[in-house]
Amino acid sequence: MKGRFNGFIILSLVIAVSLALLAPPALAGKKDDTLYVAFEKELENVDRYFNTAREGIVFARHVYDNLLWRDPQTMEYKGLLAKSWTWVDDLTLDLEIREGVTFHNGAKLTADDVVYTLNWVIDPANKVLVRSYVDWMKNVEKMGDYKVRVHLVKPFPAAMEYFSGANPIYPKDYYAEVGPKGFGLKPIGTGPYKCVELDPGKKYVLVKNENYFADSPKGQPSIGKIVWRTIPEVNTKVAELMTGGLDWIWLVPKDQAQKLAQAPNLTVVAAETMRIAFLMMDAANRTEETLGIKNPFKELKVRQAVNYAINREAISKNLVGGQSRVVDSACFPTQFGCTSDVMKYEYNPEKAKKLLAEAGYPDGFEVDLQGYRDRPYAEAMVGDLRAVGIKANLVMMQYSALREKTSAGKVQLNFQTWGSYSINDVSAIDSYFFLFDPMDMTRDPQVRDWINEGDSSIDPEVRKAAYAKALKRIAEQAYWVPMFTYVSNYCFSKDLNFVPNLDEVPRFYLAKWN
C-alpha cells in the first residue's frame, strides 16, 4: 500500500509538469503588434442598438462609425460618415454622406444604408433597447445617392450629441439578411477595426482595417490587432498585466494602481471621468406615506446637516485619488449649463450637529443608506454620518432593485452616481432627477420648470440662465449632497502610447506602440 501511494505521487508530479510545459508562453504585445486588453464585464451583444453597457460603446467606436464625431479634447462636432450637415428648420436636418467609404465586407456606403439603419431602429417593432437614442426622430428620407433628410419629432438640441455618440450606420443588405441575431455573431461596420473572431461575452479579436477611409477625423489606426478578453476578477487582471499576459487594463482600485505605478514596465494614469457621486434625500417626503416612518429629510436643516457632515475632500483625495475633485453642484463641472456659483457646504461636523439639534434631532436618528456600487465610499459616508449622530445602515443591492425602490418612493437616503453617458450637457443629468420622474426624490415644481426651460430652448444664453437658477436652488435647498468626481485608473505596458479620455471610452484606434 505504501508503494502504491508513492507511485501515485510520482505520477501526479509527472502529469503536473507535463501540463505545465504545455502552457503557452506569455505573448508580449509589441513584438507581434497585438494589444491584449481585458474588461471586467461581459459584452453579450455587439450590436450597438442592443447593449447598454460601456463595453458596448467601446466596441462600437472601433468597429462602426457614426454620422458625426465629437472631438474628445475640444468637444467639437465634426463630420464622420456625414461630410456636412444643415439645419433646414428646427425639425429638419439635412446630411451629406461621404463618398468612398466601404464596409468591412466590401459594400459601398450610400444614403440607402443610412436611411435603412435609422428607419429600422426608429421602428418600435424592432425593440431597440435604448429608445432615447432614436425616438426623437420621426423618420429619415433619401434625397439622393449621398444625401438624406432627417425629420425630428420635436426640437432636440442634443441631436448632434446623439448622432456622434449613439447611432452607428449598418450595411443595409447584410443587416436585412442576417438581422440582429446574425449581426451579433458577425458584425460588419465601416470602422477602423474589423471584428474577425467573436465568442459572445468571452473574447473578441479586432484587426486593423487597412481600407479605413483616409479623411476620417478618427485618424488611421496604428495597432495591428486587438485581443479583447473578459476577466471578471480584478486581481487576476492585475496578475496578467504583471506577467505580460495583458497589455492594458482599467478600473483598477486606487491602492493597487498606486503600487503598480512603481513597476518599471508599467504606466499608470489616474484620469478623471464624467461620473459624479452624490447623495439624494427624501425631500419630497414620500417615505412617510409609503413606509410609514418618520422622515427627517423633509427638514431643510437636516439636509444641510448631512451636507456639512460628509468629508468630501477626504474621500476624494484618499479613497478616489488621482484627478478626482469635489463637486458643489448637481452636475459635472465641464457640462454646458453647469455652474459652481452656488451655496457651498464645507466639512463641518460641529455645524452639522448644531443644525440637527435645531431641527429637533439632538441625538441624531437612524436611517437606511441605500446604494448599488462602490461600497468602500459608502462606508466612508456611513462613518462620517455616525460621527454627527446619524446612525446610517448601509443597504446595498442591484441597480435595478434600487431603482424600483426609488421609483416607489421607499428610499430616504440614496447614494447614487451618474455618468451622463459622457454627454457634456446638463440636460444629460438633471433631466433624469428633477422632472418628477421616478428617480426624482425632490419634486420641486420650480426646479422642474427651470430645467424644462433649459431643455427645450435652443438659445444657449437662455439655457445657461435657466439651468443656473435651478442649480442655485438645488444647492440652497440642499436637495442633494454633490460629492466628488470619479477617477478611472488605467494601467498599461510602457510599450503602449495610450491617452485616456474624459468620457471613459478608451480609444485604441488612437493608440500606438512606443
Query: x/- binding map, residues 128-167, to another protein, per CB under 8 A?
Result: -xxxx-----------------------------------
235 binds another protein (CB under 8 A): yes
Concatenated DSSP letters of 434-493: SSSSTT-S---HHHHHHHHHHHH---HHHHHHHHHHHHHHHHHTT-EEEEEEEEEEEEEE
Q: Which stretch binds another protein (CB under 8 A): 87-95, 239-247, 289-297, 503-511?
A: 239-247
Q: Please report whether residue 80 would count as binding another protein according to CB under 8 A.
A: no
**CA atoms 475, 477, 483, 486: torsion sign:** negative
Q: Record the cell numbers describing residue 426, joined without a space.
A: 446638463
**Which candidate, 188, 195, 121, 122, places its Cα nearest to that of 152?**
122
Binding part of the chain for another protein, among 295-303, 343-351, 430-438, 483-491 by CB under 8 A, reads 430-438
321 makes contact with another protein (CB under 8 A): no
Half-sphere exposure of 512 (CA within 13 A, CB side): 6
Give the C-alpha separation, 408 to 190, whole Å.
44
* Binding segment toward another protein, per CB under 8 A, in 80-88, 400-408, 449-457, 472-480: 400-408
Residue 20 binds another protein, judged by CB under 8 A: yes
Residue from 201, 219, 362, 460 binding another protein (CB under 8 A): 201
Nearer to another protein, 143 or 205 (CB): 205
For the chain, how many residues are written? 514
Which of 6, 22, 89, 264 lies at the binding interface for another protein (CB under 8 A)? 22
Query: Residue 360 interacts with another protein (CB under 8 A)?
Result: no
Residue with Cβ nearer another protein (25 or 106):
25
Contact between 27 and another protein per CB under 8 A: no
Q: Which amino acid is at 329?
A: S
Region from 152-160, 234-242, 470-478, 492-500 binding another protein, contact rule CB under 8 A: 234-242
* DSSP-based three-state secondary structure for 174: helix
Choose, by CB under 8 A, the member of 151, 375, 494, 512 that binds another protein.
375
Nearer to another protein, 52 or 446 (CB): 52
> Is residue 383 a contact point for another protein (CB under 8 A)?
yes
Minimal distance in Å, beta carbon 171 to another protein?
18
Closest CA to 169 of 84, 101, 217, 85: 101
234 binds another protein (CB under 8 A): yes
User: 54 or 218, CB closer to another protein?
Assistant: 54
Count of C-beta atoms within a 10 Å radius of residue 173: 14
Tell me the three cell numbers of residue 219. 485618424
Using CA atoms, how far apart are residues 284 and 266, in angstroms rounded to an integer?
49
Query: Per rule CB under 8 A, is residue 346 in the interface with another protein?
Result: no
Site for another protein in 288-307 (CB under 8 A): none
Q: Is 28 in the site for another protein (CB under 8 A)?
A: no
- Asked if 232 interacts with another protein (CB under 8 A), we say yes
Residues that bind another protein (rule: CB under 8 A) add up to a total of: 81
Return the residue matching grid coordinates 512603481.
262
What does the alpha-carbon distance between residue 413 and residue 436 come to, in Å, rounded to a whole number?
17
Q: What does the alpha-carbon distance between residue 417 and residue 274 come to, in Å, rounded to a whole number?
A: 10
Residue selected from 86, 265, 407, 446 as contacting another protein according to rule CB under 8 A: 407
Which residue of 7, 13, 27, 42 would you call a contact of another protein, by CB under 8 A? 42
The C-alpha cell that represents 29 in the structure block: 504585445
- Residue 1 neighbours by CB under 8 Å, 6+ apart: none
Tell me how far apart the alpha carbons of residues 324 and 346 are, in angstroms, rounded to a whole number: 17
